[in-house]
């Protein structure tokens, strides 16, 4: 609601698209923790989950073309 009121509908849609894309990484992270925690232990499970989440996020950024955008700061 704040994004839409301050920056318009296009920015709100962009925000929601980014959130939806990011949820893939979160899902993978939670799944890997749930599956591997008992067998591999805390440190290895979290390390593996983090690496896989980063890989999935990278693939999602490449697939959506978001890696080419630059950050523009408004003053």
Residues 14-54 pLDDT 10s: 888 878 888 889 999 999 999 999 999 999 999 999 999 99
**Residue ranges of E strands in the chain:** none
pLDDT at 72 over 70: no
**Whole-number pLDDT of residue 28:** 95
What is the rounded average pLDDT of the residues 69-74? 55
pLDDT band at 6 (very low <50, low <70, confident <90, very high): confident
CA dist 25 and 66 (Å) reads 15
More confident residue, 57 or 3: 57
CA–CA distance, 13 with 20 (Å, rounded to integer)? 11
CB of 67 within 8 A of CB of 61? yes
């Amino acid at each position: 609601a704040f994004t839409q009121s301050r920056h318009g509908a296009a920015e709100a849609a962009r925000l929601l698209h980014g959130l939806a894309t990011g949820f893939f990484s979160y899902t993978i992270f939670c799944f890997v923790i749930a599956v591997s925690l008992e067998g591999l232990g805390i440190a290895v499970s979290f390390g593996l989950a983090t690496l896989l989440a980063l890989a999935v996020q990278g693939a999602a950024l490449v697939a959506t073309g978001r890696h080419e955008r630059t950050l523009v700061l408004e003053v």
